[in-house]
Structure 1
Amino acid sequence: MTTAIPTHRDIDLSDKNFWAKSPEERDAAFAVLRRENPVPWSRPADSDLLPPEQNTKGFWSLTKYEDIRFASRHPEIFSSAQGITMEDFPPEMIHIAQSFIAMDAPRHTQLRGITQDAFKPRNMRRLQSWVQGHARDLVSEMAHLGEGDFVELVSVQLPGRIFGSFFGLPPGEIHDKTINAAQRLLGWTDPQVRGDQTALELFAGAVMDLHETAGLLIPERRANPGDDLLTWMVQAEFDGKKMTDDELKGFFVLLAVAANDTTRHASAHAIHTFSKFPQQRELLVADVPGRVDSAVEEVLRWSSVLAHMRRTATQDVTVRGSEIKAGDKVVLWYMSANRDEEIFDDPFTFDITRNPNPHLAFGGGGPHFCLGAALARTMLRSLLTEVYTRIPDIHAPDPNFQVANFINGINNLPATWTPEQS
């Protein structure tokens, strides 16, 4: 008995059950949308972030690469100020948790300028040296074991340690509480992460824990500057302006996600994907220094850890015949753009020699392009170099994927490898 090929009418991006499907099933559904209905309208998303009487807004989806690039490069038409996720949050949560990625010019321009001052080349070189050292240490700690959950041993640990170094978190309770909050922040749709909490309870609790840490550290860094990212952010300015304490707290939450959740899941996807495609793993192992950079780019395209960002239309606009009205929500599906057949040759093949590889893993360009892109690449490059130089036969074919529509995540990844001899 064969399974009927779905049509675009069978695909409900608002349904929680859709996000419990396998990555292959979701990718196939987006391929149908790109072909049959590339700008579909969806009912309000299944969500308990808002009471049912407030969760009333449906949304448009952009599934094609060029449409997403257009929307990303025209913030005057597609605004970020009303939220950046498919699901709506209470307005107060947008301001305290999403920082300047949920703002438009001119304040977005000012805060991004301040951030770029903190991310100056000298500081970036310091961060990169931390990344390389932590990757080396972590693989040294697990290489002799021969088996274990790669997420628990490495994927959670590496960004957690780097985040701790970034912000100079003191060891002990504050460090552990902060890292835990950062790593559960985007798991509001996943039953394993959420436990017996509601989605809003989990998200708000994580945000409050991060704000508490930031509230302790910000005045301390002003009084006693250190060699860490929070000190650089406290001192940074643009056009003579610095961030307020509330803006610094929001940025701390934003960096918690960027440094922890996204990098954590990208590293797990990398190990799983090379297990799924052993010929590509052999290709990498044969010349790690020569192929690791292109391997990182293909992992980023293939995994599309950041599944989407959302915008809100500021005026009526027509995209591929769909009439989007001012005030409508518009979701930019990066995970679909990174499989767009019009952009990528053979997009459903994982190929670490792919060139060019203009993926949208860090967004579609424009003023909201990810500031941490270079650092994320450094994390993956450092980790893949250590892993496939020292335990090249690591095998992890059976991931436990998160149920989520914003982050394409992996909760657990059992792995085996030939132990490294001391």
Structure 2
Amino acid sequence: MNPADSAPATTRRFHRLDISGPAFWARDFAARDEVFARLRAEPGLTWHAPAPAVFPHSEPGFWAVTRQRDIAHISRHPDLFTSGLGISMDPMPVELQRPTTFFLTMDPPQHTRYRRLISAAFTPKQVRRIESQIRANAAEIVDEFLADLRGERPVDLVDSLSRKLPMRTVSDMIGIDRADRETVAYAAEAMFGSTDEEYASLEDRADFFMSQFTILHSAGTELAARRRRAPRDDLMSAIVAAEVDGHRLTDEEIGAFMVLLASAGNDTTKQTTSHGFKALIDYPAQREWLLEDPAARLGGAVEEFIRWATPVVHFARHAVTDTEVAGTRVRAGEKLVLFYCSANRDEAALDAPHIFDLTRDPNPHFGFGGGGAHFCLGAWLARMQLRLLFHELLPRIPEVVLGDPEYVHSDFVHGIKRMPVRRAGSDPRSR
């Protein structure tokens, strides 16, 4: 054990590699992973300065957890590592995190109850309806995207393709009115990428974050109230009616779920679509392999899209009691940040993890978390959307040329804000 591990957190020396500051997160994924690779190679965990914060705090720092096996250990032991003290790397009062993340900031058995309540609404009938809606929406969205590509000007892949299906899916599932969809979509995207200066400056970030939260939460509570008065044959009505062990969700809780579904459920699939599309263009041999038998190969390909994208960079836990992780002493109350972006490039867990490989099997990625109680509840929905969208897109897309992507500046989401795409052979001067 490193003697520094036993020092009080307030006097413990920060690691020489800074992964907390904005300058680090302004680097591209590959450059950041060079740093994470060096951290993975070191014994034990490493101690880092708290991230810049918009809220007053007294956090002394955090432990960086960068290897798959350590993330899995923490994720599968909620008795030792709690989510109830907050799940963000950025210092933020848990009282503010809880209404924006719903049951992500809960531990079993409370977390288990809420998870069962939401799951109870996904009956086989609801799932069949959702799949039918997604298939129809995917076909329509691909038609629109291909029509956009026939023009002379480049189109933005994110706006024209990636962002459309997940928000349309969420809207259809819970009944958001068409007139409100763009407002809800913007609020969801802005919340997820709120550390990006394009949305708000550091000084205005807290107010901006809460205003977007209010839009999403109000949309959920108002819709829940309407469904209680006049139920329909839709998911929101099923959520309102769901009951487990005598418990039902309140309108406030449904509002919190709406925030989680609209932000996490929307943005993660959107970002995986963009990263997956880019990878298929960057690695044409992989695309050709997939096109040989897309029906049989898309399932595995989607897993590699998710691993490659790793749209959620991290979640955090706090130690419940004094314990040890990877030979490092961790004291009760200390924060541990689980870097899924690092886990999905961990050479000890994955063969050639820096290669985009659609034939990868097995593919034990952590794109949906490290397992345990908090494994992503919407994993099946994300996979379904990606599979149906690329099933429509792959056989029909012409040869295209991508411009440079513009990435979201965030320590939480690995996102592409904009990425120009044009048909090969069209005049690039029309940009």
TM-score, scaled relative to structure 2? 0.91
1:161 to 168, 177, 180: 168
Structure 1 position 216 matched with structure 2 position 219: no
Which sections of structure 1, spanning at least 5 residues, go unmatched? 1-7
What is the rounded CA distance, in whole Å, between the counterparts of 1:329 and 1:213 in structure 2? 33
Identity of aligned residues (%): 39
2:143 corresponding residue in structure 1? 140
Question: Which of 126, 131, 152 is the aligned partner of 1:128?
Answer: 131
Deviation of the 1:260 alpha carbon: 1.1
Tell me which residue corresponds to 1:27: 33
Which amino acid is 1:154 matched to? L
1:70 aligns with 2:73: yes
Deviation (angstroms), 1:55: 4.8
- C-alpha separation between the residues in 2 aligned to 1:141 and 1:375? 23
Does residue 333 (structure 1) correspond to residue 339 (structure 2)? The answer is: yes
Q: Deviations over 1:304-350 (max 9, x none)?
A: 11111111110111112221100001111111111111111111111
Tell me, in whole angstroms, the C-alpha distance in 2 between the residues paired with 1:79 and 1:107.
12
Match of 1:265 among 239, 261, 271: 271
CA 1:274–1:397 in 2, change beyond 3 Å: closer, same or farther? farther
Aligned partners of 2:62 and 2:372: how far apart in 1?
22
Q: Is the 8 A contact 1:271 1:396 kept in 2?
A: no
Return the alpha-carbon distance in structure 2 between the equivalents of residues 38 and 305 of structure 1: 26
1:418, distance to aligned residue in structure 2 (A):
6.1
How far did residue 290 of structure 1 move? 2.3
Asked if structure 1 preserves the Cα contact closer than 8 Å seen for 2:15 and 2:46, the reply is no
Supply the distance in 2 between the matched residues of 1:362 and 1:415 (Cα, whole angstroms): 28
Q: Is the contact made by 1:272 and 1:399 (CA closer than 8 Å) also made in structure 2?
A: no
Whether the aligned pair in 1 keeps the contact of 2:102 and 2:256 (CA below 8 Å) is: yes
* 1:16 maps to amino acid: P
Q: 1:84 aligns with which of 87, 97, 120?
A: 87
Following TM superposition, by how much is the alpha carbon of 1:113 offset from its aligned partner in structure 2, in angstroms? Answer: 1.0
**Is 1:42 aligned with 2:48?**
yes
> Shift in Å at residue 394 of structure 1?
3.5
1:269-280 matches, cutoff 5 A: 269-280=275-286
CA contact (8 A) 1:272 1:413 kept: no
User: Which deviates more from structure 2 when the two are superposed, residues 349-358 or residues 118-127?
Assistant: 118-127
Q: Establish whether residue 389 from structure 1 lines up as the match of residue 395 from structure 2.
A: yes
Distance in 2 (CA, whole Å) between partners of 1:255 and 1:229 is 12
Which residue does the alignment assign to 1:5? none
SS in 1 for 2:147: coil
The 3 A distance-change label for structure 1 pair 10 and 393 is farther
Quote the residue 1:93 is aligned against: 96
Q: Which moved more, 1:370-379 or 1:218-227?
A: 218-227
TM-score of the superposition, structure 1-length normalised? 0.93
Of residues 64, 88, 110, the one that matches 1:61 is 64
**Correspondence for 2:312:** 306
Answering whether residue 19 of structure 2 is matched by residue 16 of structure 1, we say: no
Say whether residues 1:368 and 2:368 are aligned partners.
no
Q: Which of 106, 109, 112 is the aligned partner of 2:109?
A: 106
Is 1:293 the equivalent of 2:312? no
Which of 202, 206, 221 is the aligned partner of 1:200? Answer: 206
Aligned length: 408
Q: Which runs of 5+ in 2 are unaligned?
A: 1-13, 426-431
Does the CA contact (< 8 Å) of 1:318 and 1:324 recur in 2?
yes
Aligned to 2:158: 151
In structure 1, give the amino acid aligned to 2:142.
V
| Distance in 2 separating the partners of 1:197 and 1:166 | 36
| Structure 1 residue 10: Cα displacement | 4.3
Q: 2-side partners of 1:179 and 1:295: how far apart?
A: 27
Q: Deviation string for 1:100-142 (max 9, x for gaps)?
A: 1111122211111101101233212221221111111011012
User: Secondary structure at 1:311's aligned position in 2?
Assistant: strand
Of 250-259 and 388-397, the range deviating more from structure 2 = 388-397
